[in-house]
Amino acid sequence: MTDGSPEEQIQNAELDQTPELLELYTQFASHHLSPLWTQTSDVLSVHPRSKAVPFVWRWNELYPLAERSGELVPVGRGGERRAIALANPGLGGAPYATTTLWAAIQYLGPHETAPEHRHSQNAFRFVVEGEGVWTVVNGDPVAMRRGDFLLTPGWNFHGHHNDTDRPMAWLDGLDVPFASSIDIGFFEFGSERVTDEASPALSRAERLWAYPGLRPLSGLGETQNSPIHAYRWEYTDQALTEQLALEDEGFPATFGPGHAGIRYSNPTTGGDVMPTIRAEFHRLRAGTSTPTTNEVGSSVWQVFDGSGAMVVDGERRELDRGDVVVVPSWISWSIEAESQLDLFRFSDAPVIERLGFARTRVEHTR
Protein backbone atom coordinates (compact mmCIF):
# COMPACT_ATOMS: atom_id res chain seq x y z
CA MET A 1 0.00 0.00 0.00
CA THR A 2 1.58 3.22 -1.06
CA ASP A 3 -0.80 6.09 -0.43
CA GLY A 4 -0.89 6.39 3.31
CA SER A 5 -4.43 5.13 3.86
CA PRO A 6 -4.98 1.88 5.75
CA GLU A 7 -4.15 -1.09 3.59
CA GLU A 8 -7.38 -2.78 2.59
CA GLN A 9 -8.05 -5.16 -0.19
CA ILE A 10 -11.27 -4.60 -2.01
CA GLN A 11 -13.22 -7.85 -1.84
CA ASN A 12 -15.59 -9.48 -4.21
CA ALA A 13 -18.86 -10.74 -2.78
CA GLU A 14 -18.55 -14.25 -1.34
CA LEU A 15 -21.58 -16.18 -2.39
CA ASP A 16 -22.56 -19.82 -2.26
CA GLN A 17 -22.51 -21.07 -5.80
CA THR A 18 -26.08 -22.34 -5.66
CA PRO A 19 -27.69 -23.77 -8.77
CA GLU A 20 -29.94 -20.70 -8.85
CA LEU A 21 -26.96 -18.36 -8.81
CA LEU A 22 -25.12 -20.33 -11.46
CA GLU A 23 -28.25 -20.22 -13.59
CA LEU A 24 -28.34 -16.46 -13.13
CA TYR A 25 -24.70 -16.17 -14.18
CA THR A 26 -25.46 -18.21 -17.26
CA GLN A 27 -28.27 -15.81 -18.06
CA PHE A 28 -25.92 -12.87 -17.58
CA ALA A 29 -23.41 -14.35 -20.00
CA SER A 30 -25.99 -15.06 -22.65
CA HIS A 31 -27.25 -11.48 -22.40
CA HIS A 32 -23.74 -9.96 -22.50
CA LEU A 33 -23.92 -8.88 -18.90
CA SER A 34 -21.30 -9.09 -16.19
CA PRO A 35 -21.98 -8.75 -12.45
CA LEU A 36 -19.83 -6.23 -10.62
CA TRP A 37 -19.80 -8.19 -7.38
CA THR A 38 -17.68 -11.01 -8.78
CA GLN A 39 -14.96 -8.69 -10.01
CA THR A 40 -15.03 -5.63 -7.80
CA SER A 41 -11.41 -6.26 -6.85
CA ASP A 42 -10.41 -6.00 -10.52
CA VAL A 43 -12.55 -3.02 -11.36
CA LEU A 44 -11.57 -0.93 -8.32
CA SER A 45 -8.23 -0.78 -6.51
CA VAL A 46 -7.05 1.08 -3.47
CA HIS A 47 -4.45 2.80 -5.61
CA PRO A 48 -3.44 2.49 -9.27
CA ARG A 49 -1.99 -0.93 -10.05
CA SER A 50 -0.79 -0.85 -13.61
CA LYS A 51 -0.28 -4.04 -15.59
CA ALA A 52 2.82 -2.35 -16.93
CA VAL A 53 5.91 -2.98 -14.86
CA PRO A 54 9.07 -0.98 -14.31
CA PHE A 55 11.73 -1.96 -16.80
CA VAL A 56 15.07 -0.84 -18.24
CA TRP A 57 16.21 -1.21 -21.81
CA ARG A 58 19.93 -0.79 -22.41
CA TRP A 59 21.11 1.42 -25.24
CA ASN A 60 24.08 -0.84 -25.83
CA GLU A 61 21.62 -3.64 -26.57
CA LEU A 62 19.08 -1.55 -28.41
CA TYR A 63 21.47 0.02 -30.85
CA PRO A 64 23.04 -3.21 -32.19
CA LEU A 65 19.60 -4.71 -32.74
CA ALA A 66 18.53 -1.59 -34.58
CA GLU A 67 21.72 -1.78 -36.63
CA ARG A 68 21.04 -5.41 -37.48
CA SER A 69 17.51 -4.43 -38.55
CA GLY A 70 19.14 -1.93 -40.87
CA GLU A 71 20.88 -4.81 -42.59
CA LEU A 72 17.89 -7.13 -42.79
CA VAL A 73 14.79 -4.95 -43.05
CA PRO A 74 14.18 -2.40 -45.77
CA VAL A 75 12.38 0.83 -44.91
CA GLY A 76 9.51 2.06 -47.04
CA ARG A 77 5.82 1.84 -47.73
CA GLY A 78 4.54 -1.26 -46.01
CA GLY A 79 5.78 -1.23 -42.48
CA GLU A 80 6.33 2.51 -42.86
CA ARG A 81 9.18 2.84 -40.36
CA ARG A 82 12.17 0.81 -39.20
CA ALA A 83 11.12 1.31 -35.61
CA ILE A 84 11.55 -1.22 -32.81
CA ALA A 85 9.12 -0.68 -29.98
CA LEU A 86 9.87 -1.19 -26.31
CA ALA A 87 7.34 -3.83 -25.22
CA ASN A 88 6.60 -3.65 -21.52
CA PRO A 89 6.94 -7.15 -20.04
CA GLY A 90 3.68 -6.66 -18.14
CA LEU A 91 1.58 -5.90 -21.19
CA GLY A 92 1.38 -9.33 -22.75
CA GLY A 93 3.52 -8.67 -25.77
CA ALA A 94 1.85 -5.47 -26.89
CA PRO A 95 4.41 -3.04 -28.37
CA TYR A 96 3.75 -0.52 -25.60
CA ALA A 97 6.25 0.95 -23.16
CA THR A 98 3.47 1.79 -20.71
CA THR A 99 -0.32 1.58 -20.87
CA THR A 100 -0.39 4.98 -22.57
CA LEU A 101 3.05 5.57 -24.12
CA TRP A 102 4.92 4.18 -27.09
CA ALA A 103 8.70 4.33 -27.18
CA ALA A 104 10.84 2.94 -29.96
CA ILE A 105 14.28 3.14 -31.39
CA GLN A 106 14.14 4.12 -35.04
CA TYR A 107 17.06 3.50 -37.38
CA LEU A 108 17.77 4.99 -40.79
CA GLY A 109 20.72 3.90 -42.88
CA PRO A 110 22.82 6.12 -45.13
CA HIS A 111 20.70 7.94 -47.70
CA GLU A 112 17.56 6.03 -46.75
CA THR A 113 14.14 7.64 -46.69
CA ALA A 114 11.12 6.80 -44.55
CA PRO A 115 8.12 7.81 -46.65
CA GLU A 116 5.66 10.51 -45.58
CA HIS A 117 2.41 9.80 -43.80
CA ARG A 118 0.26 11.38 -41.13
CA HIS A 119 -1.81 10.05 -38.26
CA SER A 120 -3.88 11.36 -35.36
CA GLN A 121 -1.34 10.04 -32.90
CA ASN A 122 1.09 12.62 -31.56
CA ALA A 123 4.77 11.90 -31.97
CA PHE A 124 8.18 13.29 -31.15
CA ARG A 125 11.82 12.32 -31.63
CA PHE A 126 14.61 12.70 -29.14
CA VAL A 127 18.20 12.31 -30.27
CA VAL A 128 20.62 10.70 -27.86
CA GLU A 129 23.43 10.40 -30.39
CA GLY A 130 24.30 11.08 -34.00
CA GLU A 131 23.01 13.44 -36.64
CA GLY A 132 22.41 13.61 -40.36
CA VAL A 133 18.70 12.85 -40.63
CA TRP A 134 16.12 15.46 -41.49
CA THR A 135 12.51 14.94 -40.44
CA VAL A 136 10.30 16.71 -42.93
CA VAL A 137 7.16 18.05 -41.20
CA ASN A 138 4.49 19.29 -43.58
CA GLY A 139 7.23 19.96 -46.09
CA ASP A 140 9.60 21.67 -43.67
CA PRO A 141 12.94 19.84 -43.24
CA VAL A 142 14.01 19.71 -39.59
CA ALA A 143 17.60 18.71 -38.84
CA MET A 144 18.09 16.15 -36.08
CA ARG A 145 21.15 16.39 -33.87
CA ARG A 146 22.22 15.04 -30.49
CA GLY A 147 20.17 16.61 -27.69
CA ASP A 148 17.41 17.92 -29.93
CA PHE A 149 13.74 17.33 -29.16
CA LEU A 150 11.60 17.32 -32.31
CA LEU A 151 7.82 17.35 -32.75
CA THR A 152 5.52 15.76 -35.29
CA PRO A 153 2.15 16.49 -33.71
CA GLY A 154 -1.00 14.64 -34.73
CA TRP A 155 -2.13 14.93 -38.35
CA ASN A 156 1.10 16.57 -39.57
CA PHE A 157 2.62 14.84 -42.58
CA HIS A 158 6.11 13.65 -41.80
CA GLY A 159 8.91 11.57 -43.28
CA HIS A 160 12.57 11.13 -42.50
CA HIS A 161 15.57 11.10 -44.78
CA ASN A 162 19.19 10.46 -44.07
CA ASP A 163 21.36 12.90 -45.98
CA THR A 164 24.68 11.33 -45.01
CA ASP A 165 26.83 8.26 -45.44
CA ARG A 166 26.34 7.21 -41.85
CA PRO A 167 23.34 5.57 -40.19
CA MET A 168 21.43 7.31 -37.42
CA ALA A 169 19.16 6.06 -34.65
CA TRP A 170 16.95 7.96 -32.23
CA LEU A 171 14.09 7.60 -29.78
CA ASP A 172 10.50 7.87 -31.05
CA GLY A 173 7.79 8.70 -28.53
CA LEU A 174 4.06 8.52 -29.28
CA ASP A 175 0.68 8.24 -27.60
CA VAL A 176 -0.16 5.11 -29.60
CA PRO A 177 -1.35 2.95 -26.67
CA PHE A 178 -3.50 5.74 -25.30
CA ALA A 179 -4.91 6.53 -28.74
CA SER A 180 -5.68 2.86 -29.18
CA SER A 181 -7.52 2.63 -25.86
CA ILE A 182 -9.83 5.50 -26.80
CA ASP A 183 -10.21 4.62 -30.49
CA ILE A 184 -9.20 7.91 -32.08
CA GLY A 185 -6.73 7.06 -34.83
CA PHE A 186 -6.89 8.23 -38.42
CA PHE A 187 -4.08 7.66 -40.92
CA GLU A 188 -3.21 8.97 -44.36
CA PHE A 189 -0.37 8.24 -46.73
CA GLY A 190 1.73 11.10 -48.10
CA SER A 191 4.60 11.32 -50.55
CA GLU A 192 6.67 8.20 -51.22
CA ARG A 193 9.72 10.33 -50.58
CA VAL A 194 10.05 13.42 -48.43
CA THR A 195 8.57 16.45 -50.14
CA ASP A 196 11.60 18.64 -49.53
CA GLU A 197 15.04 17.05 -49.61
CA ALA A 198 16.92 20.17 -48.55
CA SER A 199 19.11 19.93 -45.48
CA PRO A 200 19.04 23.34 -43.83
CA ALA A 201 20.52 23.86 -40.37
CA LEU A 202 17.27 25.46 -39.18
CA SER A 203 13.72 24.56 -40.08
CA ARG A 204 11.32 27.23 -41.20
CA ALA A 205 9.28 26.57 -38.05
CA GLU A 206 12.28 27.58 -35.95
CA ARG A 207 13.08 30.59 -38.06
CA LEU A 208 9.52 31.80 -37.49
CA TRP A 209 8.94 30.73 -33.89
CA ALA A 210 12.07 29.87 -31.91
CA TYR A 211 12.75 33.15 -30.14
CA PRO A 212 12.30 33.81 -26.43
CA GLY A 213 8.90 35.43 -25.89
CA LEU A 214 8.43 36.68 -29.47
CA ARG A 215 5.41 35.65 -31.52
CA PRO A 216 5.04 36.38 -35.22
CA LEU A 217 2.12 38.69 -36.00
CA SER A 218 1.18 36.13 -38.64
CA GLY A 219 0.53 33.53 -35.91
CA LEU A 220 -1.34 35.02 -33.00
CA GLY A 221 -3.95 32.33 -32.35
CA GLU A 222 -3.69 29.51 -29.84
CA THR A 223 -2.67 26.20 -31.36
CA GLN A 224 -3.12 22.87 -29.62
CA ASN A 225 0.40 21.82 -30.57
CA SER A 226 3.58 23.80 -30.29
CA PRO A 227 4.59 25.44 -33.57
CA ILE A 228 8.25 25.08 -32.53
CA HIS A 229 9.04 21.78 -34.21
CA ALA A 230 12.64 21.66 -33.00
CA TYR A 231 13.88 22.39 -29.49
CA ARG A 232 17.64 22.61 -29.88
CA TRP A 233 20.15 21.21 -27.46
CA GLU A 234 22.11 24.45 -27.22
CA TYR A 235 19.16 26.19 -25.52
CA THR A 236 18.31 23.25 -23.28
CA ASP A 237 21.89 22.95 -22.15
CA GLN A 238 22.23 26.68 -21.59
CA ALA A 239 19.01 26.85 -19.56
CA LEU A 240 20.13 24.00 -17.31
CA THR A 241 23.61 25.43 -16.92
CA GLU A 242 22.17 28.79 -15.90
CA GLN A 243 19.79 27.25 -13.37
CA LEU A 244 22.69 25.58 -11.60
CA ALA A 245 24.77 28.76 -11.82
CA LEU A 246 21.92 30.79 -10.30
CA GLU A 247 21.63 28.22 -7.52
CA ASP A 248 25.35 28.64 -6.89
CA GLU A 249 24.82 32.39 -6.70
CA GLY A 250 22.09 31.92 -4.13
CA PHE A 251 18.98 32.56 -6.20
CA PRO A 252 15.95 30.28 -6.56
CA ALA A 253 16.10 28.67 -9.97
CA THR A 254 16.30 24.90 -9.66
CA PHE A 255 13.52 22.38 -9.20
CA GLY A 256 15.23 20.92 -6.15
CA PRO A 257 18.66 21.21 -4.60
CA GLY A 258 21.17 20.40 -7.31
CA HIS A 259 18.34 19.47 -9.63
CA ALA A 260 17.80 21.66 -12.69
CA GLY A 261 14.99 21.05 -15.14
CA ILE A 262 13.06 22.46 -18.05
CA ARG A 263 9.72 21.61 -19.58
CA TYR A 264 9.31 21.91 -23.34
CA SER A 265 6.32 24.21 -23.89
CA ASN A 266 3.94 25.52 -26.51
CA PRO A 267 4.63 29.26 -26.87
CA THR A 268 1.03 29.96 -27.90
CA THR A 269 -0.34 28.75 -24.56
CA GLY A 270 2.54 28.21 -22.15
CA GLY A 271 1.30 24.62 -21.79
CA ASP A 272 2.59 21.26 -22.93
CA VAL A 273 3.90 20.80 -26.47
CA MET A 274 1.10 18.39 -27.41
CA PRO A 275 -2.23 17.54 -25.71
CA THR A 276 -1.22 14.03 -24.66
CA ILE A 277 2.53 14.12 -24.11
CA ARG A 278 4.69 16.10 -21.70
CA ALA A 279 8.43 16.33 -22.28
CA GLU A 280 11.10 17.55 -19.90
CA PHE A 281 14.84 17.54 -19.48
CA HIS A 282 16.49 17.08 -16.08
CA ARG A 283 20.05 17.64 -14.91
CA LEU A 284 21.35 16.53 -11.52
CA ARG A 285 24.66 17.57 -10.08
CA ALA A 286 27.04 14.73 -9.26
CA GLY A 287 26.20 13.28 -5.89
CA THR A 288 22.64 14.56 -5.67
CA SER A 289 19.44 12.59 -5.65
CA THR A 290 15.73 13.29 -5.85
CA PRO A 291 13.11 12.47 -3.20
CA THR A 292 11.12 9.31 -3.74
CA THR A 293 8.02 10.22 -5.72
CA ASN A 294 4.78 8.56 -6.76
CA GLU A 295 2.75 10.13 -9.52
CA VAL A 296 -0.49 9.23 -11.24
CA GLY A 297 0.44 8.61 -14.87
CA SER A 298 3.38 6.91 -16.51
CA SER A 299 6.77 8.16 -17.67
CA VAL A 300 9.65 7.12 -19.86
CA TRP A 301 13.16 8.35 -19.02
CA GLN A 302 16.24 8.23 -21.20
CA VAL A 303 19.73 8.94 -19.94
CA PHE A 304 21.31 11.55 -22.15
CA ASP A 305 24.66 11.87 -20.44
CA GLY A 306 26.46 10.86 -17.29
CA SER A 307 25.88 7.91 -15.03
CA GLY A 308 23.78 7.17 -11.99
CA ALA A 309 20.82 5.11 -10.96
CA MET A 310 17.07 5.12 -10.63
CA VAL A 311 15.34 3.41 -7.75
CA VAL A 312 12.01 2.28 -9.14
CA ASP A 313 9.51 0.50 -6.90
CA GLY A 314 12.31 0.02 -4.41
CA GLU A 315 14.73 -1.60 -6.84
CA ARG A 316 17.95 0.18 -7.74
CA ARG A 317 18.98 0.12 -11.41
CA GLU A 318 22.31 1.47 -12.64
CA LEU A 319 22.04 3.61 -15.73
CA ASP A 320 24.31 4.71 -18.54
CA ARG A 321 24.00 6.86 -21.62
CA GLY A 322 21.02 5.97 -23.75
CA ASP A 323 19.37 3.62 -21.27
CA VAL A 324 15.59 3.85 -21.21
CA VAL A 325 13.53 3.37 -18.04
CA VAL A 326 9.76 3.15 -17.77
CA VAL A 327 7.90 4.09 -14.60
CA PRO A 328 4.23 3.00 -14.58
CA SER A 329 1.52 4.96 -12.81
CA TRP A 330 1.91 5.34 -9.03
CA ILE A 331 5.15 3.34 -8.95
CA SER A 332 7.69 5.09 -6.73
CA TRP A 333 10.87 6.44 -8.29
CA SER A 334 13.93 8.43 -7.39
CA ILE A 335 17.14 9.33 -9.20
CA GLU A 336 20.71 9.26 -7.94
CA ALA A 337 23.48 11.01 -9.86
CA GLU A 338 27.02 9.68 -9.69
CA SER A 339 28.45 12.05 -12.25
CA GLN A 340 26.45 15.03 -13.47
CA LEU A 341 23.44 13.27 -14.88
CA ASP A 342 21.32 14.48 -17.79
CA LEU A 343 17.97 12.81 -18.45
CA PHE A 344 15.21 13.29 -20.97
CA ARG A 345 11.72 12.41 -19.79
CA PHE A 346 8.32 12.13 -21.41
CA SER A 347 5.00 11.23 -19.86
CA ASP A 348 1.22 11.21 -20.22
CA ALA A 349 0.86 13.97 -17.61
CA PRO A 350 -1.23 16.30 -19.83
CA VAL A 351 -3.89 13.60 -20.09
CA ILE A 352 -3.88 13.00 -16.35
CA GLU A 353 -4.02 16.72 -15.53
CA ARG A 354 -6.57 17.83 -18.12
CA LEU A 355 -8.93 15.12 -16.92
CA GLY A 356 -8.52 15.91 -13.25
CA PHE A 357 -6.77 12.73 -12.08
CA ALA A 358 -3.41 14.15 -10.96
CA ARG A 359 -1.95 13.17 -7.58
CA THR A 360 1.64 13.26 -6.46
CA ARG A 361 3.25 11.96 -3.30
CA VAL A 362 6.77 13.10 -2.49
CA GLU A 363 8.66 11.51 0.37
CA HIS A 364 10.62 14.27 2.02
CA THR A 365 12.34 12.11 4.60
CA ARG A 366 15.82 12.12 3.16
**Which residues in 122-151 contact a second copy (CB under 8 A)?**
none
Residue 349 contacts a second copy per CB under 8 A = no
Interacting residue with a second copy among 126, 231, 301, 304 (CB under 8 A): 231
Alpha-carbon distance of 330 to 349, in angstroms, equals 12
Interacting residue with a second copy among 258, 267, 306, 322 (CB under 8 A): 267
The three-class DSSP label of residue 159 is strand
Residue 362 contacts a second copy per CB under 8 A = no
Alpha-carbon distance of 139 to 337, in angstroms, equals 41
Work out the number of other CB atoms within 10 angstroms of the CB of residue 55.
Answer: 19
Residue 270 contacts a second copy per CB under 8 A = yes
Residue 20 contacts a second copy per CB under 8 A = yes
Residue 1 contacts a second copy per CB under 8 A = no
Per-residue CA distances from 273 to 85, 167, 241, 323, 352 (Å): 22, 28, 22, 24, 15
Residue 92 contacts a second copy per CB under 8 A = no
Alpha-carbon distance of 281 to 97, in angstroms, equals 19
Interacting residue with a second copy among 113, 162, 266, 299 (CB under 8 A): 266
Is the CB of 151 or the CB of 303 nearer to a second copy?
151
Alpha-carbon distance of 361 to 3, in angstroms, equals 8
Q: Where in 51-70 is the site for a second copy (CB under 8 A)?
A: 52, 55, 57, 61-62, 65, 68-69
Q: What angle do CA 51, 52, 53 make, to 5 degrees?
A: 115
Q: Where in 177-216 is the site for a second copy (CB under 8 A)?
A: 178-189, 204, 206-216
Of the candidates 282, 262, 263, which has an alpha carbon nearest to the alpha carbon of residue 337? 282
Interacting residue with a second copy among 129, 131, 235, 332 (CB under 8 A): 235
Interacting residue with a second copy among 254, 288, 302, 334 (CB under 8 A): 254
